Structure 1
Amino acid sequence: MNRIIVNSVNETQKIFQRKKTVVFLIITVLVPAGTAALFVFGQNALGIFAVNSASFPISMLGLFSSLLLPLFIFSMAADLFSGELGDKTLKLTLTRPVTRFKVFLSKNIAIAFFVVVSLALLFVVSVIAGFFLNGGALSLTDLFQTLLAYIMAVVPMLVLGIIGVFLAQFFRNSGAALITSVFVYLAGKATPFLFPTLAKVSPFSYTDWYMMWTGSAVSAGRLINTFLIMLSHSLILFALGFSIFDKKDI
């Protein structure tokens, strides 16, 4: 357990030391702040009330969970596996007294930690930025609903992380792994439009799972069923990903 923790910390440090990570975190701050500023200008100068303080954080969550965060998650998975395999740093990691499973698990944990940090930062900035919009400060009820939505948004993002890690096992180049992951993601998002019956079992259909928790009348059975679908995909792909990683000639 101690080695998993230590290795997870090391992998997390790798992520936060990357320039692209810093850029993404800056974007996470600037996009809500800049968007709120534009809306404030529209309210004051033009009298246009496009969004209020209660809906603004959810709107930002929709943008990041459907587009920006998945892109960066796939980029991290590609860098931590395909990238390190290509530049031989992964071989150095495996020379330490730690099993391949612990290395594999630690990298997944590092990605999960970054997802949580990113969504937490987005939540704080969006709520603060939304304070300047029509409606002012959120009520306790709205704040709780918004917080719940952000917490629930972690689940499908973790699933995407596991999918990205699985796909990265087939490449020795981070660029190829990233492009493939993005293509698979876009194809997965488009598939339900062509084959509607697949929507219920596709993990790509639930990036907006948090919407089921924001006051909509969704039964507990449907919430549990949806969670089990995402969990089953995660367990299967995690096991397959590790199986490939464990047998890989590094």
Structure 2
Amino acid sequence: MFNLIKNEWIKIFSRPGTYVMIGLLVLLVIGAGSVMKFAGVSQEPEGDWKQQTQMQIESDKQYLEEMGGSENFQTQYYKQQVAINEYRLANDIEPASGESIWSFVNFNSNFVEIIGLFAIIVAAGIVASEFTWGTIKLLLIRPISRTKILLSKYITVLLFGITLLLTLFLLSTLVGAIFFGGGDGQPHLVYIDGAVEEQNMVFYLIKTYLLKSISITMMATMAFMISAVFRSSSLAIGISLFLLFMGGTATQFISMKYDWAKYSLFANTDLTIYTGAMQPLVDDMTLGFSVTMLIIYFVIFHLLAFIVFKKRDVAA
């Protein structure tokens, strides 16, 4: 199995496109740091932060009163902000001012979707390209089961995604330290289950990156399945990218009217909603529910990929 994975890894890095992906990721991080350092607007507060925070609380409460008792994403957001700001005043925790290494790393977590795009491209081609080039026959005549061959390809896709994720996190930390210096040591405040909690900023960022990688894994798995079933990398890339960028938006619109939207894959891939970042699409969704749904989709994708691949006739 190790040799199979090693061979697949060599194949990936023998393609110029792989280095283009890595280069684009590096340029994105350095470019974002340069813009925020030299062209960004200063966020240094003016005046007493406690007074400003109290004014913000009163403004948010006024908005909630105007909205009445309606419950939506906006009202939930303002309720969280009121609770967090009141906690700041009660515990004398000043909001972070200006950019820091950790705010930069947190901002760059938005680039995880770019990594997802790269992982989809690799996953979509790793099986289909073997059929396109005719090299699948050379693989299957070897005394190795089809299950091991397909599994080695999938593990390689995951390792590639993990490598890019680590590159993004470590490079963001390095560039953030160079441009903005160290952090201010302030805890990160989150609103979970009706209460405000303090979390270590580094721990929160690591958890955020790991949770966002779940989306990469699921989308790459789906692209891998489509590639194995239909033997078309273009079809796998097209469908997966369309769902990557449109699936979440479509699910949000559906969830406004129908509760069954919570069973959609895209309603459950963003597990950061359970870290206090935002509210679930449907009120009764929980972390356990989302993990269960992800496992179900994960198993279905693999069953389709492995069953079809094992039964497919590749004779000339």
Query: TM-score band, normalised by the shorter chain?
Result: 0.7 to 0.9
| Aligned counterpart, 1:105 | 151
Q: CA deviation at 1:89?
A: 1.3
Among residues 107, 114, 121, which one is paired with 2:160 in the alignment? 114
For residues 215 and 189 of structure 1, what CA distance do their matches in structure 2 show? 16
- Unpaired segments ≥5 residues, structure 2: 45-97, 188-199
Percent of aligned positions with the same letter in both sequences? 25
- Unpaired segments ≥5 residues, structure 1: none
Among residues 118, 121, 124, which one is paired with 1:75 in the alignment? 121
Does the 8 A contact of 1:77 with 1:168 survive in 2? yes
**Matched residue type, 2:154:** N
Q: CA deviation at 1:146?
A: 1.2
Of 163-172 and 234-243, the range deviating more from structure 2: 163-172
For residues 187 and 123 of structure 1, what CA distance do their matches in structure 2 show? 26
**Matched residue type, 1:131:** A
| Aligned counterpart, 2:3 | 6
> Cα gap change, 1:138/1:106 in structure 2, threshold over 3 Å: closer, same or farther?
farther
Q: TM-score, normalised by structure 1?
A: 0.84
1:154 aligns with 2:213: yes
| Aligned counterpart, 2:309 | 245
1:234 aligns with 2:298: yes
Q: CA deviation at 1:217?
A: 9.8
Q: Paired residues, what number?
A: 241
- Cα RMSD over matched residues? 2.7
1:191 aligns with 2:250: yes
| Aligned counterpart, 2:131 | 85
Which has the bigger relative contact order, CA under 8 A and spacing at least 6? 1
For residues 12 and 230 of structure 2, what CA distance do their matches in structure 1 show? 19
State how 1:43-82 maps to structure 2 within 5 Å. Answer: 43=40, 47=42, 51-65=99-113, 68-82=114-128
Of 86-95 and 172-181, the range deviating more from structure 2: 172-181
- 2:263 partner SS: coil
Does the 8 A contact of 2:125 with 2:233 survive in 1? yes
Q: CA deviation at 1:228?
A: 1.9
Of 131-140 and 81-90, the range deviating more from structure 2: 131-140
Structure number with the higher helix fraction is 1
- 1:98 partner SS: coil
Tell which structure's C-alpha radius of gyration is larger: 2
| Aligned counterpart, 2:30 | 33
Among residues 260, 271, 286, which one is paired with 1:222 in the alignment? 286
> Cα gap change, 1:82/1:243 in structure 2, threshold over 3 Å: closer, same or farther?
same
**Matched residue type, 2:146:** R
Q: TM-score, normalised by structure 2?
A: 0.68
